[in-house]
Structure 1
Amino acid sequence: MIRLLLVLCALSFVPKPQAAPRFVAMDLYADTGGKPLAAWQIELTCDPSQATIVGVEGSGAQGPYYDPAALQGGRIILASFSTDAALPAGRVLVARVHLQETGSPVYTPTLMAAAAPGGERLDLKIDLVRAGGK
């Protein structure tokens, strides 16, 4: 009986295998309801013990602005603006966020601000979807 107890105690100290990290990309969409999108700012949060933000890219020639130091904290604020005459409207891919997942994270995108040309406030519908439908 003592041997069994010792074996069970010893097994409790064996480290549990951790899940292998997975690299995924998430596409961040903003639906403008048909109005042109001149500027936007979106916060993306996740539990840093479940996922790490490792990179951000844009959908056009210039990606969104962000603080690279924020990549490790589980919270990043992305933003962009344009004074171009031809602005995107409708469902717009605004960013692709690259992540390293170690668990089953929950991602929370939050609209902070958005505007049409001239400064008219926009209430965007934000979608975050796994790139490639994975």
Structure 2
Amino acid sequence: MASSACIDNAPHCLLRLPRHATNRFPARLHQFENRSKNYKLFNEPTTREVVFRRLVEQLRESKSIRKNPKVQLCLAAGKIIASHTDGLRSHFDENNWLLYDAGWIREQLQAISDSGYENSIAAVTAKLLLRSS
């Protein structure tokens, strides 16, 4: 399920697509090229335009975003086939999409974990996940 991040009337909106939580199937470059049936928002421009338009409408109605936000597609992938990493990064850069790989996810968890005591689910989870690494 996709989620949006439009915080404090920010000038742009990120549409995040979570990769399989279990990372059972690593991301591969071919899934984002040549109109693959995977990742329809990445591979079907018409679908992407409709989803973006409706997302912006809904968020405007709830006064969660500015009038004309920049919507950007993002993918968080905990696993990427090693030989596909550079190609995926290039493909995402060419399309102005954001790719959050395992390294980025680890950095974010570390930053949360290092932020001192915080009684939040995210902070406690980050500390537990990083305890074994």
Question: Could you tell me the TM-score, scaled by structure 1's length?
Answer: 0.24
Higher-Rg member (1/2) = 1
Q: Comparing both chains, which one has the higher relative contact order based on Cα–Cα distances under 8 Å and sequence gaps of 6 or more?
A: 1
Question: Could you tell me the TM-score, scaled by structure 2's length?
Answer: 0.24
Which of the two has greater strand per residue?
A: 1
